[in-house]
Amino acid sequence: MPDGLLPSRAIGWGIAGYGWVARDYAAPAILAAGHAVRTVCDPVPAARDAARRAHAGAAVQDDLAPLLADPAVDAVYVATPNHLHRAAVEACAAAGKAVLCEKPMAATLEDAEAMAAAVARAGILYGTAFDQRHHPAHAAMRDAIAAGLIGTPTVIRIAYACWLGPDWSVTGEGDNWRADPRRAGGGALMDLAPHGLDLCAFLLGEPVEEIAALTQRRVQPYAVDDGAALIGRTAGGALVQLHVAYNCPDALPRRRLEVLGSAGQLVAENTMGQEPGGLVTHTDASGASRPLPVADMASSPFARQMAAFARALSTGDRETFSAARDLHTMRLLHAAYAGDPACR
Taking Cα atoms as reference points, which of 10, 8, 11, 80 lies closest to residue 40? 80
Residues in contact with ligand NAD, counted by CB under 6 A, come to a total of: 27
84 binds ligand NAD (CB under 6 A): yes
174 binds ligand NAD (CB under 6 A): yes
148 binds ligand NAD (CB under 6 A): no
What is the DSSP track for 9-58? ---EEEEE--SHHIIIIIHHHHHHTT-EEEEEE-SSHHHHHHHHHH-TT-
Give me the least distance between CB of 170 and ligand NAD, in Å please: 6
Rounded-to-integer distance, Cα 91 and Cα 132, Å: 27
Cβ distance 13 to 35 under 8 Å? yes
Q: Which of 4, 14, 17, 264 binds ligand NAD (CB under 6 A)?
A: 17
Cβ distance 232 to 240 under 8 Å? yes
Rounded-to-integer distance, Cα 344 and Cα 210, Å: 19
90 binds ligand NAD (CB under 6 A): no
19 binds ligand NAD (CB under 6 A): yes
The phi, psi pair for 225, rounded to 5°, reads -60, 140
131 binds ligand NAD (CB under 6 A): yes
171 binds ligand NAD (CB under 6 A): yes
Could you give the C-alpha distances from 148 to 92, 209, 245, in angstroms and in order? Answer: 41, 23, 32
State the amino acid at position 322 in one-letter form: S
- Judged by CB under 6 A, the chain residues 44 through 73 that form the site for ligand NAD are 44, 47
Per CB under 6 A, the segment of 12-20, 223-231, 285-293, 333-341 that binds ligand NAD is 12-20
Per CB under 6 A, the segment of 75-83, 135-143, 238-246, 286-294 that binds ligand NAD is 75-83
Give me the least distance between CB of 149 and ligand NAD, in Å please: 27
Which residues sit at the interface with ligand NAD, rule CB under 6 A? 16-22, 41-44, 47, 79-82, 84, 102-103, 129, 131, 171, 173-174, 177, 191, 274
